[in-house]
């Protein structure tokens, strides 16, 4: 090996060899560059669209903006439900130098409970550090002022305003308006089903009850959105474009807040319900159920202590106007009188002897009149004016349940009135079929007798009673009850609920007059049950009292309020309308366990009508002239 080694290096051969290798190297480099370029060409030219899209997906986020909820006004434009800014103390953790020190310092200024502090610390643990978190919600004015003065000492802390529902009339309107509260999972699932989930992406609250729930769709509005550019940590860099949200419709109700307040005031601490309707169109002027509660408690989440307090035996959560089931008692006597006239069982002149009780032939049992000694000779007028029970026991017995049931169904008993809130029950209009379905028992003749005075199995809601009265005073024309008059959005006004239902038709339209005249007498004749309450009224009222037994009194015993427990005393009921010639309003009042309709119900009706006609003097003038 060593021998073959040349002694002199062949420099030119070596240079040639190197030059060839360097050339090969350069060719190799060129090929690799070509490979890189072709790959880059694929990425930048062929797949450009795809990567462009993904690049935009990275940086562009769409942030939803909640629409402002529509406002609710009463018939005179008084604001009943508004959106008020609430001030929350919020913190951006990223901007706070020493969180523990700052929290300790802010606690000196504004009371912060351990619960609030722990919730806050929990929130920041689970969220991005630049995202604002609520430390204390709903600061009061003095807290806002205290913080504002010291704000410079708390970098990263700020007060943020958000719109939240506020009901200025608090418990006066709860059962009509309902309330909004935080959206829950069940509601979200339902929104998802209705393809509404996107529309609620930025919304905190949803209608839970009453008008707020029934008209949720109108009130809510349309979500807006903001396209923003974000960085890799999700921080917003700038806004690219914005679609403003569309606010919800404002609603104008048929309610009159003044009348509503009178209703609340009149019931004081008695359990009961008041419905006042506009006789001309079925618009509900007042809808009040007592006891009530403050809906504002629910808007920001009710505490369990406050909630438990609402679960008391007086059941304030129940809307008695549409969910309370009461025996309509004597308030249905005018209707039954019409049926008897229609069927030819009695005429305007027919007189009947009332010994103070009614007996089915060959039966021992006595159905007693409220007047133990009886009303003597009774015609249809007197039967209504003095609320003679015996007259109607007899009439009902002769009519039979099927005729009564079919006729009263036309006045809306046993069915939902269709008022625009969801909290409504159809109560019970008894019939043979109903009893068989409900008790698997056939209808006894005796069952019909108490139906004749609006008791027995018969129950109705104050709203149903008002509705049935309204049909009566309109001589069969049927304007179903409703709370919302119009929905407004900017200049666009939509009339809602202005439909009239098919009327109740009689063979002889004069029968309406007989019943209404009798109701007029009830108020005006000295012997009328509502005479005392309406003495001296400036308008011309008419009405009918009712007193419903809550427990049945055993044979041979007398009703004695004192000896009965409070909850077993009679319910007072009153229906009324005015002016007699050209009815403007209809009232329906039920007061639980207070005794007679004439002593408790009628005076409340008087207060309501006095207010209504003093607020509407033209109507009074007209009624006086007549």
| Residues annotated catalytic, as ranges | 330
Distance CA 172, CA 237 (A): 48
Could you tell me which stretch among 6-14, 120-128, 554-562, 594-602 binds another protein (CB under 8 A)? 6-14
Distance CA 70, CA 487 (A): 9
Cis peptide before 291 (omega within 30 of 0): yes
Report the nearest approach of another protein to the CB of residue 223 (Å): 26
Q: Is 626 in the site for another protein (CB under 8 A)?
A: no
64 by Cβ neighbours in 10 Å (0-12 / 13-18 / 19+) ranks as: middle
Q: Which of 126, 152, 233, 305 binds another protein (CB under 8 A)?
A: 233
Could you tell me which stretch among 231-239, 302-310, 383-391, 606-614 binds another protein (CB under 8 A)? 231-239
44 vs 107, beta carbon nearer another protein:
44
User: For another protein, what does the binding mask look like between residues 58 and 77, x meaning CB under 8 A?
Assistant: xx------------------
Q: Is 36 in the site for another protein (CB under 8 A)?
A: yes
Report the nearest approach of another protein to the CB of residue 120 (Å): 28
H/E/C letters for each residue in 468-532?
HHHHHHCCCCECCCECEEEEEECCEEEECCCCCECCCCCCCCHHHHHHHHHHHHHHHCCCCCCCH
1 vs 554, beta carbon nearer another protein:
1
Could you tell me which stretch among 230-238, 265-273, 546-554, 602-610 binds another protein (CB under 8 A)? 230-238
Q: Is 104 in the site for another protein (CB under 8 A)?
A: no
Q: Is 40 in the site for another protein (CB under 8 A)?
A: yes
Could you tell me which stretch among 37-45, 97-105, 167-175, 399-407 binds another protein (CB under 8 A)? 37-45
Number of residues in contact with another protein, rule: CB under 8 A? 42
268 by Cβ neighbours in 10 Å (0-12 / 13-18 / 19+) ranks as: exposed
Q: Is 509 in the site for another protein (CB under 8 A)?
A: no
Q: Is 241 in the site for another protein (CB under 8 A)?
A: no
User: Between vectors from CA 356 to CA 350 and to CA 362, what angle results, nearest 5°?
Assistant: 85
Cβ contacts of 102-107, under 8 Å, gap ≥ 24: 102/154, 102/156, 102/157, 103/135, 105/153, 105/154, 106/135, 106/147, 106/154, 106/157
Q: Which of 143, 229, 294, 582 binds another protein (CB under 8 A)?
A: 229
Q: Which of 62, 145, 149, 237 binds another protein (CB under 8 A)?
A: 237
285 by Cβ neighbours in 10 Å (0-12 / 13-18 / 19+) ranks as: buried
Distance CA 24, CA 29 (A): 9
Q: Is 232 in the site for another protein (CB under 8 A)?
A: yes
Q: Which of 3, 12, 37, 127 binds another protein (CB under 8 A)?
A: 37
* Residue 154 C-alpha from the chain's centroid: 43
Q: Is 47 in the site for another protein (CB under 8 A)?
A: yes
Q: Which of 3, 45, 269, 618 binds another protein (CB under 8 A)?
A: 45
Q: Is 94 in the site for another protein (CB under 8 A)?
A: no
Q: Which two tokens stand for residue 618?
A: 């033209």
Q: Is 44 in the site for another protein (CB under 8 A)?
A: yes
Answer whether 409's CB lies under 8 Å from 426's CB: no
14 vs 557, beta carbon nearer another protein:
14
DSSP assignment of 550-562? SSPPPTT----GG
DSSP state of 70: P
Could you tell me which stretch among 36-44, 141-149, 524-532, 600-608 binds another protein (CB under 8 A)? 36-44
56 vs 76, beta carbon nearer another protein:
56
* Residue 55 C-alpha from the chain's centroid: 48
Q: Single out the residue of 454, 430, 450 nearest to residue 329, CA to CA.
A: 454
Report the nearest approach of another protein to the CB of residue 191 (Å): 30
Q: Is 50 in the site for another protein (CB under 8 A)?
A: yes
Q: Which of residues 13-32 bind another protein (CB under 8 A)?
A: 14-15, 17-19, 21-22, 25-26, 29-30, 32
Report the nearest approach of another protein to the CB of residue 19 (Å): 5
- Sequence-ordered list of residues with C-beta below 8 angstroms from that of 169, at least 6 positions apart, any chain: 80, 257, 260, 261
DSSP E strands, 363-498 = 367-368, 376-378, 484-489, 492-495
Q: Return the CA Rg of the chain.
A: 38
DSSP state of 415: S
Report the nearest approach of another protein to the CB of residue 27 (Å): 11
21 vs 581, beta carbon nearer another protein:
21
Q: Which two tokens stand for residue 454?
A: 């609006």
Q: Is 6 in the site for another protein (CB under 8 A)?
A: yes
Answer whether 181's CB lies under 8 Å from 298's CB: yes
Q: Which two tokens stand for residue 93?
A: 């953790």
4 vs 152, beta carbon nearer another protein:
4
Report the nearest approach of another protein to the CB of residue 8 (Å): 10
What count of Cα atoms within 13 Å lies in the side-chain half-sphere of residue 365?
10
Q: Which of 3, 12, 43, 177 binds another protein (CB under 8 A)?
A: 43
Q: Which of 3, 12, 55, 295 binds another protein (CB under 8 A)?
A: 55
Report the nearest approach of another protein to the CB of residue 1 (Å): 8
- Sequence-ordered list of residues with C-beta below 8 angstroms from that of 44, at least 6 positions apart, any chain: none
Q: Which of 41, 130, 439, 444 binds another protein (CB under 8 A)?
A: 41
Q: Is 236 in the site for another protein (CB under 8 A)?
A: no
Answer whether 332's CB lies under 8 Å from 468's CB: yes
Report the nearest approach of another protein to the CB of residue 218 (Å): 41
Report the nearest approach of another protein to the CB of residue 225 (Å): 20
Q: Which residues bind another protein (CB under 8 A)?
A: 1, 5-6, 9, 14-15, 17-19, 21-22, 25-26, 29-30, 32-33, 35-37, 39-41, 43-45, 47-48, 50-52, 54-56, 58-59, 229-233, 237
């Amino acid at each position: 090996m060593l021998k073959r080694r040349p002694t002199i290096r062949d420099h030119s051969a070596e240079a040639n060899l190197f030059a060839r290798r360097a050339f090969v190297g350069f060719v190799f480099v060129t090929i690799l560059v070509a490979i890189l370029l072709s790959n880059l060409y694929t990425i930048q030219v062929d797949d450009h669209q795809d990567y462009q899209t993904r690049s935009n997906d990275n940086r562009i986020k769409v942030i939803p903006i909640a629409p402002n909820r529509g406002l609710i006004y009463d018939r005179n434009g008084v604001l009943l439900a508004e959106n008020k800014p609430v001030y929350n103390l919020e913190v951006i953790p990223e901007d706070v130098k020493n969180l523990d020190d700052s929290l300790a310092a802010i606690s000196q200024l504004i009371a912060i409970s351990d619960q609030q502090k722990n919730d806050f610390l929990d929130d920041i643990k689970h969220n991005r550090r630049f995202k604002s978190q609520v430390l204390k919600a709903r600061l009061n004015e003095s807290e806002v002022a205290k913080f504002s003065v010291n704000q410079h000492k708390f970098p990263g802390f700020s007060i943020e305003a958000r719109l939240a529902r506020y009901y200025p009339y608090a418990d006066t309107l709860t059962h009509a308006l309902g309330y909004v509260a935080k959206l829950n999972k069940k509601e979200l699932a339902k929104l998802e089903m209705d393809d509404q989930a996107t529309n609620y992406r930025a919304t905190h609250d949803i209608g839970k009850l009453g008008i707020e729930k029934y008209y949720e769709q109108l009130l809510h509005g349309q979500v807006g959105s903001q396209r923003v550019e974000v960085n890799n940590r999700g921080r917003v860099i700038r806004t690219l474009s914005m679609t403003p949200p569309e606010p919800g419709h404002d609603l104008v109700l048929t309610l009159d807040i003044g009348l509503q307040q009178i209703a609340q005031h009149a019931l004081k601490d008695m359990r009961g319900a008041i419905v006042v309707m506009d006789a001309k169109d079925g618009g509900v002027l007042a809808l009040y159920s007592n006891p009530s509660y403050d809906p504002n408690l629910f808007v920001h989440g009710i505490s369990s202590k406050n909630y438990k307090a609402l679960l008391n035996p007086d059941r304030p959560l129940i809307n008695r106007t549409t969910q309370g089931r009461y025996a309509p008692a004597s308030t249905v006597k005018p209707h039954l009188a019409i049926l008897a006239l229609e069927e030819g069982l009695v005429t305007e002149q027919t007189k009947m002897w009332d010994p103070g009780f009614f007996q089915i032939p060959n039966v021992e049992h006595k159905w007693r009149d409220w007047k133990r000694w009886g009303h003597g000779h009774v015609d249809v007028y007197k039967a209504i004016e003095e609320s003679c029970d015996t007259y109607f026991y007899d009439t009902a017995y002769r009519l039979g349940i099927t005729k009564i049931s079919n006729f009263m169904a036309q006045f809306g008993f046993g069915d939902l009135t269709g008022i625009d809130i969801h909290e409504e029950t159809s109560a019970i209009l008894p019939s043979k079929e109903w009893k068989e379905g409900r008790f698997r028992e056939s209808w006894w003749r005796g069952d019909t007798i108490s139906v004749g005075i609006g008791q027995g199995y018969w129950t109705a809601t104050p709203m149903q009673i008002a509705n049935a009265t309204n049909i009566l005073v309109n001589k069969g024309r049927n304007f179903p009850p409703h709370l919302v008059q119009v929905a407004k959005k900017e200049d666009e006004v939509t009339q809602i609920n202005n439909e009239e239902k098919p009327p109740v038709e009689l063979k002889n339209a004069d029968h309406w007059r007989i019943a209404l005249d009798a109701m007029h007498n009830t108020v005006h004749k000295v012997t009328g049950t509502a005479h005392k309450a309406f003495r001296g009224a400036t308008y011309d009222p008419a009405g009918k009292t009712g007193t419903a037994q809550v427990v049945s009194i055993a044979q041979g015993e007398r009703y004695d309020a004192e000896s009965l427990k409070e909850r077993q005393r009679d319910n007072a009921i009153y229906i009324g309308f005015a002016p007699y010639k050209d009815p403007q309003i209809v009232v329906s009042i039920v007061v639980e366990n207070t005794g007679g309709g004439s002593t408790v119900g009628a005076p409340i009706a008087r207060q309501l009508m006095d207010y209504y006609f003093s607020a509407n003097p033209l109507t009074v003038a007209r009624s006086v002239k007549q």
